[in-house]
Chain A
Amino acid sequence: MPLVSETGEKIMEDDAAKAGADDKADGLTRRDFLEFLGASFAALSMAGCKLRTPVEKILPYVRQPEDAVAGKALWFASTCGGCSSACGVLVKSRDGRPIKLEGNPDHPLSRGGLCARGQATILDLYDSERLRQPLIGGGEASWATVDAEVRRRLRSAKSVRILGRTSTSPSLDAAIERMARRYPSLRRVVYDPISSWAIAEAHRRTHGRAVVPHYRFDEARAIVGFDADFLGAWLFPVEFIRGWSKGRRPDQPQGGMSWHAQFEPRLSVTGANADLRAGLLPSQEFSAVAALGRLVASHTGWTGPLPAVEGACGVDQGTLERTAGALSKAGRNALVVSGSNDPAVQILVNWINAMLGAYGRTIDIERPSRQAQGDDSAVSELLAQMGRGAVDVLIVLDANPVYDLGRAEEFKEGLKKVGLSVALADRLDETASLCRIAAPLSHSLEAFGDSRPVSGVYSLQQPTIAPLFDSRPALEAVLRWSGDRSSGHDFIKGFWRRKVYPHVHGAHGFEAFWRDSLQKGVVLADEPRMPAAHFSARAVSSLKPARKPAAAGAFELAAYASVALADGRQANNPWLQELSDPVTRASWGNYVCLAPEDAKRMGVEEGRVLRLSDGARSAELPAYVQLGQTPGVAAVAFGYGRTGAGKVAANYPTVKLFPIEKDLLAGANIRPFVASGAVTLAATDRTSPLSKVQIYDFETDPLLGQKRNIVQETTESAYRLDPHSGNPPPKKEEELWPRHKYPGHKWGMAIDLNSCSGCSACVIACQVENNVPVVGKAEVRKGRDMSWIRIDRYYSGAPGQPQASPQVAFQPMLCQHCDNAPCETVCPVLATVHSSEGLNMQVYNRCVGTRYCENNCPYKVRRFNWFDYAHQDLVQNLALNPDVTVRQRGVMEKCNFCVQRIYSGKFQAREDDRVLKDGDITPACAQSCPAQAIVFGDMNDPDSRVAKVARRSRSYRVLAELGVGPSVFYQTKVRNDSEKA
């Protein structure tokens, strides 16, 4: 504040004089300084903008490939190589580069859906940290040298072992069998990083056949899951989500809704979607299944032996009775599944299913699944042989046992005694780096292949790009080493001619059949069913659970496969690392989930680094306080803590500038702890904050203290009485501006909250389609995540209120394309404007980055480019979609309803000289959704699917009372309470 007294003026004059003198003393006056400033600025600005357009070259093909048209995508039917589910995919290829995977709607199992991990495999192809050429003893070698060395050693070997993860490829099986005929000492050992061996073992004991059944969730009317995350990462999530969602559509006239109960130690995606959920300890699972089985036995009049309930079952009797009642009511259409790897538990599950008559209806063992073929006993045998030094040649085929085998230490020791160790791997991972020969494996988009995920369903995989590196598919490597020089393509074709073609009806001529199969990607073969097998009751009596309760003071470990990384084979994929978990909403690294009671008792808050120890080894992980988790359980995700996957898996960004970033942990491998089953936790004095994208967990408004109209829900009984239940008519919308006119189309979207399982496939689909960048852990922590669509997770109730099992709702949230969009009115440069078709457009080249729009958006869906996030990695750049601008620093972006697809659909209609019809345009999120929860279309067309859904009684719009007029119509969530009646 200026002084106004006389003395004040005097002081100021003095200061001015002194300042002038100081300037003189420096030899530089203010005037001079300004002159320099002006001159240098002029020089800078003139030199800085080289104002000539760069000369660009157009390089045409020399020889025109068939069907290739510049700028036009070609689609190839293929098979996803992400996991053993082998979903059908359509590969979008632009100018010779695969750039996107979409589900193949003709595939009988995945039916157009594709999970987040499957879609992200496209970036695994363009991973610059893949192994580029074969290595022998760490030195670069050629394939010819490798082949010669391997075959020389194979000829003299007395014992050859091939260790691999489950492969559903029948051709590869045949090739290995052929190799075994040539080298009779060859044995194949199959394991699964997340083993389902107990399911097969239980069926061997109860039905005389070691198979993993094909579960039919689409037939199930009552589903009970015991720690089986079938909507997350258990066995075949895409098919299971699709089947489960069939029973989540209350509008459908026939059948009504299915009922789903989940008993689990931690809150999984599946549990979050259950109608009834109860917590238990992992060691109580056996007694809980046994107790439920005894209740079902009394309902169904079972006369055989009954299992003993060992100790407390953790679930109260009323809940179990409700469950048993619902199961008995559903009868043959009931389905009980368990994710346990204890054969005793699985035998009890088989027993319940057999009592209910589910075999033949919801469980198919006559045409079983081929997905989880891992055999834990064979692995133990192999480890023993390796320890004795009795293995001469070990070929590790597309597997990483040093990381994901429970007994990795034993394996590492044994590996030293193996004569020749060969790893076929896509990168120099934990195992390949210890093997004498490391040979690069082709990506599933680079090679021919085939798959049989379920008996009778055969799918083909075709290459859509020449191998980027000097790699080979597993099939060809096996063929070479068994002395066969035929290509993978020829071998598969020959196999199909002999084994598949004879079983297909209506095919005339193999060549036509082959071409047709390649084009469609999938074939249904009428393979003979395995003979029916009957449940043998002898297995039920005298069962003992494998898992013991933890000692006092220790926690029972519930290690789980997360939706994003599952077993961790894709750990170097930045899209998956940044995909926030649907339940915890955290990304980049794993953490120990604790029940709120335990956290309070230990005095631990979120982000506190805990030392996890099982006596023999320890790891450090940050804590996460998870509502709904059973006290006494520590839940940690698999798949993290990889040391040999690459720099993304090791943490991101790799250059850590600020102290806060140095604290960010990349996660730890939980696999070695699984065997002991119990861990102790000790708090350290450090913290490592989690990168969460949702910090507020409840729908209750913190200021008003009441639930806001964000997720609306009702119960099935209330919905039957009043279709509008849970969906009160919105208050009169106050509108500030006159309404826009939409003379032509008016795009809108409908999202069914009841069938959305939160699987996050849409998030990755959007990221692939729209070149959405990855920002890294430190940036996510600052709330700068870039995803255009996110899945919000809300708990019922209010913060601080203790809840044993909170009700959870998932809500995909994207730009709502408001009719009176608040963002549009505040943009000073008109970079976000309204289109005549109801789109809220973001014009990147006009945006100057004021971020006013972001502040004014009630849905928090606008994303700002704080940096130039575009990949610096040339190889990863190949995955960019050329139809979408790569945004630069300082620009706002957000969902645009896939406007490139809208215009592409319109252009196609005009090219074909027809009117645009409903279904011509499908945004990436709606296309990928395994549950088909998202519908997109023209609201001006009363017969369009989206307009029909929007007129349903369950339809509402989020925050419609603000008068912004959103264009996304959500459908009220309906929880099934019918079993109470």
Chain B
Amino acid sequence: MKWAWLLVLAAAGPAVAGTGHAPKRKSAQTLRYHAVVPGHRDPAASLDQQLLPQEPLADKVKTPDEGFSIYWPGIAFSLVLLAGMIWAWQFGVRGAPLVLALLAILCAYLSLGGRRYFHLLGNQQGYEPVQPIAFSHAIHAGKLKISCFYCHYGARSSDVAGVPAVSVCMNCHNVVKGMAGSKEPSAEIAKLLHFWDARATPEAATIPWVRVHHLPDFAHFSHRVHIANGIQCQECHGPIQKMDRVRQAASLSMGWCIQCHRLRPGQAPTHWKRVGGPTDCAACHW
């Protein structure tokens, strides 16, 4: 009788909670790039098509984080461990409940994403997702020394730095089709050309870059004011000119932001035009 109850509860728990676990992000922030762009859409496309995020060309581009997920098996196993813990407790096996409880927690932690995704503290430091095109900042920014603002031109005038349009890439890649000295066309540039060539077709899609740096919607960060104050890109983004794949270098936690905002004269780097920043809540949260 007792165990029947436990099983029902254990099954009902995830089932009930599972309905709510999908992240609900309905704010306009997430819609930012889904704007209806005059001239860049099929006029006959229905509104629903326009409103929904455009799906990438699935067969052409493999996006990361799709594939086998250990999420549900992991959860199930941790529940089994939990049940074992209670069982052991009932029969008075000394020490076992503690071991089983620790195992259950560890199992749950790993199945929920482990360190890479463990978001309890909002910390995604080290996040380095695979991108649909293996664009290398080490080549473009490091080796070729292209200014950051050539592509991320929004950083100086807008709150968001922005990801360049395919047409910006094509400014160079109209000509550059492969690595210097190599006659072989690059497979990665070919992916780019695919998006560019499909631009006029009804199934036109754009590059589904995976977002690396992600602030929650209630925190407002402005690139332009930080750039205007002379702060270097690398001070937040790390040695981006050395990264083949972009990695989140800083934790981007509030404590990390505040470190700099709290600096006093003499403590700040000399190239900053202003020392410290506002520490009001309303400076970022509105």
Contacts and interface: CB of A to CB of B under 8 A. Distances in A.
Interface stretch (A33-41, A477-485, A939-947, A958-966): A33-41
A46 B17 CA distance: 9
Contacts of A32: 2
A202 B64 CA distance: 75
Contact of A39 (B6, B65, B154, B282): B6
B160 A97 contact: no
Interface in A895-928: 896, 899-900, 903, 906-907, 910-911, 913
Contacts of A61: 37, 40, 165-167, 206
B85 to A, nearest CB: 9
A470 to B, nearest CB: 8
Given A833-B281, A900-B220, A71 B154 contact: yes
Nearest to A57: B208
Contact of A910 (B83, B164, B229, B285): B229
Interface residues of B, number: 101
A95 B29 CA distance: 11
A53 B117 contact: yes
A51 B120 contact: yes
Interface string B222-254: 101100110000000000000000000000000
Contacts of A885: 27, 217-218, 285-286
Contacts of A469: 47
A846 B254 CA distance: 13
Contact of A56 (B54, B162, B211): B211
Given A64-B167, A875-B51, A907-B225, A96 B153 contact: no
A43 B13 contact: yes
B176 interface: no
B31 A877 contact: yes
10 contacts: A46-B108, A56-B210, A60-B165, A61-B165, A61-B167, A95-B32, A96-B35, A844-B285, A845-B218, A877-B26
Interface string B30-71: 111111111111011011001101100000000011000001
Interface stretch (A355-363, A587-595, A834-842): A834-842
A19 interface: no
B156 A911 contact: yes
A381 interface: no
The 8 closest A-B pairs by CB, nearest first: A48-B17, A47-B14, A96-B35, A43-B13, A52-B117, A40-B9, A71-B160, A880-B28
Given A40-B10, A51-B113, A839-B280, A882 B206 contact: no
B266 interface: no
Interface in B160-178: 160, 162-168
B204 A466 contact: no
B27 A39 contact: no
Interface string B179-214: 000000000000000011001000010111111001
B170 to A, nearest CB: 9
Contacts of A910: 224-225, 228-229
A911 B225 contact: yes
B157 interface: yes
Nearest to B286: A899
A70 B33 contact: yes
Contacts of A886: 26-28, 217
Given A53-B214, A64-B168, A43 B32 contact: no
A883 interface: yes
Contacts of B18: 47
Contacts of B222: 903, 907
Contact of A52 (B83, B113, B157): B113
A373 B224 CA distance: 50
A58 B33 contact: yes
Contacts of B46: 132
A878 interface: yes
B32 A70 contact: yes
Given A875-B47, A900-B286, A48 B9 contact: no
A21 interface: no
B195 A62 contact: yes
B107 to A, nearest CB: 10
B144 interface: no
B40 A468 contact: no
B256 interface: no
B75 A46 contact: yes
Interface string B3-19: 00110011011101110
A63 interface: yes
A244 B227 CA distance: 47
B79 interface: yes
A881 B28 contact: yes
A455 to B, nearest CB: 33
Contacts of A843: 281-282, 285
A43 B82 contact: yes
Interface in A858-912: 870, 874-875, 877-878, 880-886, 896, 899-900, 903, 906-907, 910-911
A524 B160 CA distance: 39
Nearest to B13: A43
Contacts of A470: 44
Contact of B165 (A52, A64, A833): A64
Contacts of B40: 61-63, 65
A71 B14 contact: no
Contacts of A35: 86
Interface in B257-286: 278-283, 285-286
Nearest to A59: B33
Nearest to A470: B44
Nearest to A834: B280
B162 A70 contact: yes
A521 B54 CA distance: 34
A981 interface: no
Contact of B166 (A60, A877, A878, A900): A60
Given A44-B13, A62-B166, A65-B39, 5 more contacts: A39-B9, A52-B118, A60-B162, A70-B158, A94-B35
A56 B23 CA distance: 11
A55 interface: yes
Contacts of B214: 53, 56
A54 interface: yes
B26 A870 contact: yes
B119 interface: yes
Interface string A57-98: 111111111000111100000000000000000000011110
B163 A63 contact: no
B282 A132 contact: no
A66 B195 CA distance: 20
A469 B167 CA distance: 28
B156 A56 contact: no
B268 to A, nearest CB: 16
A615 interface: no
B94 interface: no
B108 A841 contact: no
Contacts of B157: 69, 72, 911
A469 B51 CA distance: 12
B145 to A, nearest CB: 23
B82 A53 contact: no
B152 to A, nearest CB: 10
A59 B204 contact: no
B36 A97 contact: yes
Contacts of A27: 1
Contact of A71 (B41, B158, B281): B158
Nearest to B164: A60
Contact of A36 (B6, B54, B129, B210): B6
Contacts of A874: 51
B95 interface: no
Given A40-B9, A845-B218, A886-B27, A71 B159 contact: yes
A176 B72 CA distance: 66
Contact of B38 (A36, A43, A96): A96
Given A44-B13, A62-B204, A877 B224 contact: no
Contacts of B86: 35, 39
Contacts of A65: 37-40
